[in-house]
Structure 1
Amino acid sequence: MVDVRGVHKSYGPLEVLRGVDLRVGAGEVTVVLGPSGSGKSTLLRAVNHLEKIDRGFVAIDGELIGYRRSGDRLHELKEREILRQRSRIGFVFQSFNLFPHLTVRQNVAEAPLSAQRRPREEVEELTAELLDRVGLRDKADAYPRQLSGGQQQRVAIARALALRPKVILFDEPTSALDPELVGEVLEVMRDLARSGTTMIVVTHEIGFAREVADTVVFLDEGLIVEQGPPAQVLDAPRHERTRAFLGKVL
């Protein structure tokens, strides 16, 4: 479903991604671990072309993201086409990024109505189903400022699901939450994993990775140092850098 090949990204002289290769199958959950500054968020943002990569490519379900191929060269798509592609890629940010002037119901419905131009009746029905799924149907007419951080993040997940995405990207979705609110968000994510949603999750929640991930990736200094099943990467890491990192976070 997701194919990342030889991806490089630099900001001036700073090389943030140094040739990343990553494949995620349909219905799989990949958890990306790594220290701050390792390139985790940049990798996620490259997947939906929020970051333009310098070399390599990203494809989702066989379609190049952000570019079209002409011979042996890649040419960036027009913004309209890029937005069309993004409308099939869910993204859940650290800081929720809800529209403060819209209600919960309107936040979830906005993208299907405006970006995908789906019928209003269909979107209203879907919005109710999704809010029920994340346990917030009773908050449909509330505004983000009236919600806890955990509730806001659950709305953000419902908003991502409303796009009917091929994959959902999570960028440290619990890092901005009080510890007591983390569990409610992780439970929604566990439900998504059980339902076969394709997910790439950047997180420091090792317990979640151990329980839910099909593959755990350890990224350091812009390179994938180690990847494999949770039992291998988390319990018997082969690389010294992975062992050092886990020794600090476990």
Structure 2
Amino acid sequence: MSAAVEIRGAIKSYADRTVLKGIDLTVATGTVTVILGPSGSGKSTLLRAINHLEKLDEGYVVVGGDLIGVRVRGGRMRELKEKEILRQRSRIGFVFQNFNLFPHLTILENITEAPISLGVKPATARELARALLASVGLAEKETAYPRQLSGGQQQRVAIARSLAFDPELILFDEPTSALDPELVGEVLSVIRGLAGTGRTLIVVTHEIGFAREIGDRIVFMDDGVVVEQGTPEAVLDNPRHRRTQDFLSKVL
């Protein structure tokens, strides 16, 4: 099976704190990888590095065979220009934990804004946005503003927005952590529907039951390193590392 994402020697520091400490990780195409770990373990930073929202200090990320943020020419590496990085990002869907919708734009405009800015005709972008809203059960909300929607509805809009360029890779950064408990199910249902569609999903979550249900592979991180990885059965039911055992004993 080919690799959708390859991460090698990823190191990222902020001031005097190293958040990623030499991460190596391969994500197979068309699979669902779930990343677990305590707060501060580097999970969100790793996702942001995959989408070049964070620039690595050392190491590299490859998505679909392309180096993220850099290009090699004549054996030398050079950083991509911002426009090139934006086009790379358009191939990767990203769903943030706090929705990140534009409050001054309608729901339809939130979805069409990026495609139109990258050259998609407005009529085409609106047609696609309406289809995506229907796919997440929000067809009737296209003229509403984010403040008029519940948290669960806003997150479903954010998922629809992430699909606007039909990405083969979608990153979810704790997509239910900002939601009231009764709204979690509607968002997980949408993500569940995306699993098994041929897209590659990487999901950072604290929902262990959901991780077990949709994950092809579970990755446990702590203190900036990958401690353990394997099938849900191996990592969740029979963890080998003591740190994984301690973490699961507190969340299960």
Pick the aligned partner of 1:46 from 16, 34, 49.
49
Q: 2:207 aligns with which of 198, 205, 208?
A: 205
Question: After TM superposition, where is structure 1 displaced by more than 4 Å over at least 4 residues in a row?
Answer: 70-73
**1:68 aligned residue:** 71
Superposition TM-score, scaled by structure 1 size: 0.97
Question: Given residue 86 of structure 1, which amino acid in structure 2 is its aligned partner?
Answer: R
Q: Are 2:85 and 1:104 aligned?
A: no
| Aligned partner letter, 1:130 | L
Comparing 133-142 with 66-75, which one deviates more in the overlay? 66-75
d(CA) in 2 for partners of 1:195 and 1:166? 10
1:3 equivalent in alignment to 2:15 = no
Per-residue CA deviation, residues 80-124 of structure 1 (Å, 9 max, x unaligned), is 111111111111101100011111111111111112x12233222
Counterpart selection for 2:172 from 170, 186, 202: 170
* Counterpart amino acid of residue 157 in structure 1: I
Partner of 2:16: 13
Secondary structure at the residue paired with 2:192?
A: helix
Deviation at 1:78, TM superposition (A): 1.1
Q: 1:26 aligns with which of 24, 29, 32?
A: 29
2:192 is aligned with 1:193: no
Tell me the residue number matched to 1:131: 133
The AA in structure 1 aligned to 2:211 is: A
Residues of 1 paired with 2:76 and 2:17: CA distance? 25
Superposition TM-score, scaled by structure 2 size: 0.96
Contact 1:111 1:163 in 2 (8 A): no
- Rounded Cα–Cα distance in structure 1 between residues aligned with 2:147 and 2:13: 36
Structure 2 distance, partners of 1:101, 1:112, is: 18
User: Could you give the per-residue CA deviations for residues 172-220 of structure 1, whole angstroms, max 9, x where no partner exists?
Assistant: 1000000000000000000000322211111001111100011100000
The question of whether the paired residues in 1 share the 8 Å contact of 2:33 and 2:216 is answered with: yes
Q: Which moved more, 1:68-77 or 1:158-167?
A: 68-77
Which residue number corresponds to residue 156 of structure 2? 154
SS in 1 for 2:9: strand
State the Cα deviation string for residues 156-178 of structure 1 (Å, max 9, x = none). Answer: 00000012112111111000000
Are 2:132 and 1:91 equivalent residues in the alignment? Answer: no
Q: Distance in 2 between matches of 1:197 and 1:78?
A: 27
Q: 1:239 aligns with which of 238, 241, 247?
A: 241
Paired AA for residue 157 in structure 2: V
Match of 1:77 in 2: 80
C-alpha distance in structure 2 between counterparts of 1:176 and 1:72, whole Å: 45
SS for the counterpart of 1:38 is coil
Q: Which runs of 5+ in 2 are unaligned?
A: none
Instruction: For 1:171 and 1:178, locate their aligned partners in 2 and report how far apart those are by CA, in whole Å.
Output: 17
Distance 1:187 1:45 in 2: 24
Amino acid at match of 1:22: L
| Paired position in structure 2 for 1:223 | 225
Structure 1 residue runs without a partner (length 5+): none
Q: Equivalent residue of 1:186, what SS?
A: helix
- In structure 1, give the amino acid aligned to 2:216: D
Match of 1:194, SS state, is coil
SS in structure 1 opposite 2:10?
strand
